[in-house]
């Protein structure tokens, strides 16, 4: 698996709807060292939020996780990924719709790709509808603007955090 600066840290990249929600979930998981919100999977270099929201850049809102593989495995992160959103809705999570909110696993090596495929088959057993999550090779990660980083922790009083993220964290036992 792709290692980063700290030799014990690995990288995972997931798209599961609004990155504010997904980031809030993964920041609560033991073994996750850091989470950054950003964009991946499109054709525009250095996209801005407005370009991604328009759907014209082709990017998905994603989170890039650096995790300590001695504490948590990629497979456990995949478990949290499948639990944290509805992977059966094409280009939609809740009220958010468009290709930028697609369900996606961006793998960083063949081991991650194989793990994601196996995990997807296992997760399918829990859903009546087919999983539409794309599993594709990671491309360039573009870090989202600063105001998107750690959004939930910095903006707990915002209506979106109260009405969307808090219930999600509670449902997952992370609240």
When pLDDT is averaged across residues 17-45 and rounded to a whole number, the result is: 97
Tokens of 49: 């939020």
Tell whether 78 is covered by a domain.
yes
CATH of residue 100's domain is: 3.30.1060.10
Tell whether 31 is covered by a domain.
yes
pTM score > 0.85 for this model?
yes
Tell whether 2 is covered by a domain.
no
The catalytic position among 18, 21, 53, 83 is 18
**Phi then psi dihedrals of residue 12, to 5 deg:** -135, 145
Q: Catalytic: 18?
A: yes
At residue 134's C-alpha, the angle toward residues 111 and 35, to 5°, is: 70
**Domain range enclosing 153:** 9-171
Q: What's the number of domains the chain is made of?
A: 1
d(CA 47, CA 76): 30
| pLDDT tens digits along 119-150 | 999 999 999 999 999 999 999 999 999 999 99
Q: How confident is the model at residue 6 (pLDDT cuts 50, 70, 90)?
A: low
Instruction: Choose among 69, 161, 82: nearest CA to 118.
Output: 82
């Amino acid at each position: 698996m792709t290692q980063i600066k700290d030799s014990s840290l690995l990288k995972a990249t997931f798209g599961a709807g609004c990155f504010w929600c997904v980031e809030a979930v993964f920041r609560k998981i033991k073994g996750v060292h850091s989470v950054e919100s950003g964009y991946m999977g499109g054709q525009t270099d250095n996209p801005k939020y407005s370009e991604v929201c328009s759907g014209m850049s082709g990017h998905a809102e994603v989170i890039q996780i650096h995790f300590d593989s001695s504490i948590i495995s990629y497979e456990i992160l995949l478990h949290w990924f499948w639990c944290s959103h509805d992977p059966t809705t094409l280009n939609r999570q809740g009220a958010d719709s468009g290709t930028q909110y697609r369900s996606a696993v961006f793998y960083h090596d063949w081991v991650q790709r194989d793990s994601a495929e196996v995990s997807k088959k296992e997760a399918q057993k829990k859903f009546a509808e087919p999983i539409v999550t794309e599993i594709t090779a990671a491309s360039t990660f573009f870090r989202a603007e600063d105001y998107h980083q750690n959004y939930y922790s910095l903006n707990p009083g915002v209506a979106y955090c109260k009405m969307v993220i808090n219930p999600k964290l509670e449902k997952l036992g992370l609240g």
